[in-house]
């Protein structure tokens, strides 16, 4: 049985999402992404940059 369309996207984003959640917890920060395209929102954040007064971490998958 094929996964539903949304489940396929979710599977692709599990690792980068986990990295972002871990970094948010470690640094006590929040993240936001604004887009009009749902597929872009799901597919794009393969790389996230943590912006703080002195950037320390770059998350990449």
State yes or no: pLDDT of 60 exceeds 80: no
Helix, coil or strand: residue 31: coil
Total of domains in the chain? 1
Q: In terms of residue numbers, what domain contains 21?
A: 5-60
Q: Which residue has the higher pLDDT, 38 or 15?
A: 15
Q: What is the pLDDT of residue 8?
A: 56
How much of the chain, in percent, has pLDDT values that exceed 90? 0
Q: 27 pLDDT exceeds 70?
A: yes
The three-point CA angle 31-36-38 to 5° equals: 80
What's the distance, CA 26 to chain centroid?
15
Please give the pLDDT value at position 18: 80
Per-residue pLDDT, 20: 76
- Residue 7 scores a pLDDT above 70: no
For residues 59 and 49, the answer to whether their CB atoms sit within 8 Å is yes
């Amino acid at each position: 049985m094929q996964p539903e369309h949304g489940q396929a996207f979710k599977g692709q984003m599990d690792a980068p999402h986990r990295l972002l959640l871990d970094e948010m917890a470690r640094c006590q920060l929040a993240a936001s992404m604004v887009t009009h395209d749902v597929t872009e929102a799901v597919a794009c954040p393969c790389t996230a940059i943590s912006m703080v007064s002195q950037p320390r971490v770059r998350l990449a998958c």
